[in-house]
Amino acid sequence: MEIHTPNWVKHAIFYQIFPDRFARGKPKRADAFDPKIPLEAWDAPPTLQGYKGGNLWGVIDKLDYLRDLGISAIYFTPIFQSASNHRYHTHDYYQVDPILGGNEALTELLAAAHQRNIKVVLDGVFNHASRGFFYFNDILENGPYSPWLDWFKIEGWPLSAYDGDRPANYVGWVGNRALPEFNHDNRDVREYIMQIAEYWLKFGIDGWRLDVPFEVKTPGFWQEFRDRVKAVNPDAYIVGEVWTDSRQWLDGTQFDGVMNYLFTGPTIAFVAGDRVDPELVEGQDYYPYPPIDAADYALKMQHLLALYPWEIQLTQLNLLESHDTTRLLSVVGEDRTSSELAHLLLMTFPGAPSIYYGSEVGLAGKRDPDCRRVFPPESLWDANTLHKFRQLIALRHRHPALRTGDYKVLYAEGSTYIFVRICAQEEIIVAINSGEDASRVTLELGQFESQPRRVAYGSANVSWTTEGEATILNLTLPGRSGCVIEQ
């Protein structure tokens, strides 16, 4: 079967935004609804339940910043009406949360983003809803007389939606009674979700990130979802939150990609080594600990690149951190070199890189809710980190090979990892030395028609020699450094 994925994703740089924490802004029309509600102080540490009041108007105000950074797509965590700051407890799938600015703000955002050639992907929470979701709330009010009983997984009576000392008597996601699970075997539930997906695509969004899609067991559900989505917009992106081997969803009939945590863990383990704080990653479904060397990293990357068809590899959503993890800078003990090397590998790996908001200016953060800190004011930005992000993003945009070129490991020994990205137009070499001491490597590269000579990023000494028909690369990398060599 021929697999088709959205071409724009292969060339995209994503930026993940947790809307409550990114930016506060004002409506663009004087008569727009602008609720005056009590909010947590913007510069105070975030709490699990408090609202900071970030909104879509604030995102609009920062679109020029994102465009200038080189961002071409935004992934938003949920924006629909909800009684939680993270909005995974959906009340109404057809209304953007009023704190975020309502549907009007999304209309304005889509127009402003698309004007700047920035795509917008929304978070689809379709495994579960919330206690405040109308259909479930009707059950709480009317008990066994509710017409919506079969929309959820009711197990007995009476329901206990709030009293933890009594059985909930219905299925909630991972046992959480605040998140009643849909009964996806119900035809009306399936149709309701399909129509939500279609509605917002027609509204103008560019794709869906699917929350815990592996929890939906109904046969054919995600195949139908893809068919319905692609019928509205063949270029819409469908990306699932699956942390493990995702072959069962990446066969070309369901998702275009997944959040590629199989890249995340090994990359951090290689570049950071024993700088990783195990307590900050304990219990997570990605594994940046224990440390691994270059040979192990090569094996893991080659295994990962063999798992899925190449067309899927190019539309994976690659990341180093998210709202569900400790921020990378905190994971590595605020060692900025580890973060830089990890992002160098992120920006040069097949698939679309995703930056978690604030990472480009040096934002740290430990476990939830600390990993969801507010985007800092410019006075607190790390200018050197931002400069390096700009360089790496520009490199990826400049070179087709870094986006769609083949990936071949050239060298992987000790702390040194070297690979090449090759396409018809060019060859780009990327080298990483995660160790403390300088690394000197001599490689015979007879297959190269031309030799990348210019160090476009980082610091390294590069020379090429010939011995008979062989082409020899001589490379010296300082300790704890990486480089990109272009033609």
- Active site (catalytic) residues: 211, 241
Q: Is the sign of the CA dihedral 414, 340, 44, 73 positive or negative? A: negative
Nearest residue to 83 via CA among 137, 138, 133, 28: 133
C-beta separation of 169 from 159 below 8 A = yes
Query: Which parts of 271-361 are beta strand (E)?
Result: 317-319, 352-356
41-79 burial, b at 16+ Cβ within 10 Å, e below that, comes to ebeeebeeebbbbbbbbbbbbbbeebeebbbbbbbbbbb
**What distances in angstroms separate CA 398 from CA 64, 467, 486, one per listed residue?**
20, 32, 11
Both tokens of 132, joined, read 């405040």
Q: Is the peptide bond before 369 cis (omega within 30 degrees of 0)?
A: yes
Query: What's the order of all strands across the beta sheet hosting 14-17?
Result: 257-258, 237-240, 207-210, 119-124, 73-76, 14-17, 352-356, 317-319
Q: Distance (Å, rounded) from C-alpha 446 to C-alpha 363? A: 43
C-beta separation of 107 from 96 below 8 A = no
Nearest residue to 421 via CA among 389, 387, 456: 456
Q: Is the peptide bond before 158 cis (omega within 30 degrees of 0)?
A: yes
Bridge partners, residue 458, by sequence? 483
CA angle, corner 85, sides to 369 and 72, nearest 5?
A: 90
Residues making up the chain, counted from first to last: 487
Q: Distance (Å, rounded) from C-alpha 78 to C-alpha 87? A: 5
Q: Distance (Å, rounded) from C-alpha 409 to C-alpha 454? A: 20
- What DSSP assignment string belongs to 113-134? HHHTT-EEEEEE--SB--TTSH
Place of tokens 């917009």: 233
**Dihedral pair phi/psi, residue 393, rounded to 5°:** -65, -45
Amino acid, single-letter form, for residue 435 = G
Both tokens of 302, joined, read 């080659």
